[in-house]
Amino acid sequence: MILQYLASDLTGIRHIIARTVLVVAVFCVNSVIVIAASDYTGGFAALWSANASLIFMLMLFPRKEHILYCAGVFLASLTVNLFSDFPLQTAIFYSLSNVLEAVLAYHIIVRLGFPKTGLYNPAQLAKFGIVAVIVTAISATTASLGSNEGFGKSWLSWFGSDLLGLLIFLPCFNIVHATLTGAEKYIWPNNRRLEFAAVLLLVFAVSSAALVQSIIPLLFLTAIPVFIAVFRFGPLGAMASTIIVAIVAEFLTISGFGPIAALDASQITKIYVLQAYIASQLMLALPIASLLADRQSKVDKIIEHEKLLRSMAEKAHRKADAAKLQKIRLLARDELTGLSSRRHIMEQSEQAFQRAQSGRRVLSIAIFDVDEFKSVNDQFGHAVGDEILSMIGKVARRSQTRKQLIGRIGGEEFLVLMPDTSIAEAEAQVETLRLAIMNARLPDRGIGVTVSAGLAESSGADDLKKMLLLADIALYAAKHAGRNRLEIAA
């Protein structure tokens, strides 16, 4: 399977080689730094970060390539241990325990979902702590089997440094990766980078001041800036501040400064005290950060849920408004003719009449209906009658001016509303419409009709009802005068 994967294409092979070299190089750098530092502490390492970096890169890179990474790391670890003057047997067991720990930890914490979610709730934090204890205990047992020192002493030293390395560095690598890739957007807001740097500088300054001298016991002071980092930046602040405290504490202790270096005890005892101090900082910071992050995650979910509900409500409201508007439009439109419905044009007529009365403005209204429409229905049928009414609607819509509103108010009866239009202007407009209807014909049948109209002006009426009555009287006068004509109310 590996050979087929490698043979897929040359570009892929180059990428695989590059990733393998990166994994091995990062592990080697971590190992060399820690081993070099242990030379000043009697061969005991306070923190072992190399395995944490290997586990993180196993999470990050393709699973099919893991066998290459592990083989490369084993050989590199063996080389580093041999160059550090460890016996061959010890170097083999140390290298094997490093790879074994990384593989075990990777498979367990992947199942827990740690690579995707990080330590953002107390349950995951507790599970990760248990996993770290189990895999480091197995790793320490494997390494101690090949050690020339006593099993118990070797096991305890390996277990302490390795466990601290996992608990501090693996979550840190994961959190930084989640931050940079945007997987956890709330960890490090872009507009707070300066504040983040200032808080970490404060952690460095306070921890340096507390750990550089042994006259006054000030180790408790480091908790203050660590808590500030936790409360301001959650898990990222917890990890970054704990790493700074750990590096400062280990460097100053190795260099012979501070209260831990001043202890009247063996070097290994000092290392145990240093590990206990770093562990106490981590155990103070990480659970609080986990609780805060879990709360923030729940708050974010509530906010997202509220946004979703608000969006759904707005969508439903828009849908209801659209349906209401559509209903109003349907009610305002006569389906057969496409003109205004009776209800709509009567409402508009009432409003226009009130505006004309209050503003001393002129208003003209015309009523027209189809001449001898009953004969059309009797002779050609009601379907043709409907076609005639539809044709009249099309003619009326084409003839309708910007000020006009034309609607159907009965079977074959229509109303023309003409605001701000004098009786003379209205007469010309209605006459134009009458002639247009008279000249219109059904396309397939060649059937045409005429209309008679009555015209009235608002100045001769006290209300709209009276004005419509005047127009209706004029309409009947047109009918009695021979039809196909317009009459103006007296």
Enumerate residues 6+ apart whose C-beta is below 8 A from 341: 331, 332, 333, 334, 407, 408
Overall average pLDDT of the 451-470 stretch: 90
DSSP H stretches of helix in 333-422: 342-358, 373-380, 382-399
pLDDT tens for residues 105-158?
A: 988 888 877 655 455 566 777 788 888 899 999 998 998 888 777 788 788 888
Enumerate residues 6+ apart whose C-beta is below 8 A from 193: none
Distance CA 202, CA 141 (A): 39
Which residue type occupies 403?
A: K
pLDDT tens for residues 382-413?
A: 999 999 999 999 999 998 888 899 999 988 99
pLDDT at 186 over 50: no
Distance CA 62, CA 23 (A): 12
pLDDT at 455 over 70: yes
What is the value of pTM for the model shown? 0.55
Q: Do the Cβ atoms of 249 and 278 come closer than 8 Å?
A: yes
pLDDT of residue 243: 85
Q: Which residue has the tokens 């015209």?
A: 455
pLDDT tens for residues 352-361?
A: 999 988 878 8
Which residue type occupies 85?
A: D
Distance CA 373, CA 72 (A): 99
Percent of the chain, pLDDT > 90? 32
pLDDT of residue 4: 55
Distance CA 261, CA 252 (A): 8
Percent of the chain, pLDDT > 70? 90
Helix (H, G, I), strand (E, B) or coil at 454: strand
DSSP sequence for 102-127: HHHHHHHHHHTTHHHH-S-SHHHHHH
Query: How many Cα atoms are found within 13 Å in the side-chain-facing hemisphere of 369?
Result: 17
